[in-house]
Amino acid sequence: MVRVSAELGERLSACAQQYSLHFAGQVRLTRDPHILTSLLVELEEIEQLARSYDDADQVRAAREQAALLRREQTQLEAALQEAGPRGRATAHLAQRASLMMHRYSRHFAGQGRAGRDLGLLAEIGAQLQASQRALQPLHPGQAHWVAEFVAMCTREQQAILAARQQGSLAQQAASHATAANTLMQTYVDCCVERRR
């Protein structure tokens, strides 16, 4: 009984973690209702199994989690219905653009210009441009906000190139070496000791 109770507790914890990962702090229009449905099915199975073992604590915990998810499901369905396909598409595109902006901050904020990864910056700029073009017909205001960030990325690319050309030849070589070290560290982080 103790082992079954522990397994049920682990399954309940996994459901709570999935909810936190996919729903907590996320814009409601970007949440996936199918994940909620799957979690509710899992919670029903946990509750039935806990009831068959007379585990009142796990039955109560499963019911409480399911009640939370049903409230979320009702609110999510109402929000999706109200927003319609256009609102949902706008929310997803804005979220993607926001993630790219966060990626920029994570990799470039507080870093010396000479060592910044121009390829990564170009990739972020291209993805933001794609989001901006898709947002334009849906929400021109948000598209403008993304376009401003794209323009800043372009200015930053030019500033990085200029920074690498400043100073003596030794200083320029050091700038290029710093950029090479940045790329090497990215390779190590992404590839070394990982399965092909």
DSSP code string of the chain = -HHHHHHHHHHHHHHHHHHHHHTTTS-GGGS-HHHHHHHHHHHHHHHHHHHHTT-HHHHHHHHHHHHHHHHHHHHHHHHHHHHHHHHHHHHHHHHHHHHHHHHHHHHHTT--GGGS-HHHHHHHHHHHHHHHHHHTTT-HHHHHHHHHHHHHHHHHHHHHHHHHH-S-HHHHHHHHHHHHHHHHHHHHHHTTTS--
Return the pLDDT at 38.
95
Return the pLDDT at 2.
67
Count of positions (residues) in the chain = 196
Return the pLDDT at 1.
54
Instruction: Per residue of the chain (196 residues), give pLDDT as tens.
Output: 568 888 999 999 999 999 999 888 888 888 889 999 999 999 999 999 999 999 999 999 999 999 999 999 999 999 999 999 999 999 999 999 999 999 999 888 888 887 788 889 999 999 999 999 999 999 999 999 999 999 999 999 999 888 888 888 888 788 778 778 777 887 888 788 777 7
Nearest to 18 by CA among 53, 65, 63: 65
Output the pTM of the full model. 0.68
Return the pLDDT at 177.
81
Return the pLDDT at 182.
79
Residue 105's Cα: distance from chain center in Å? Answer: 14
Return the pLDDT at 25.
83
Return the pLDDT at 94.
92
175, two tokens: 């700038």
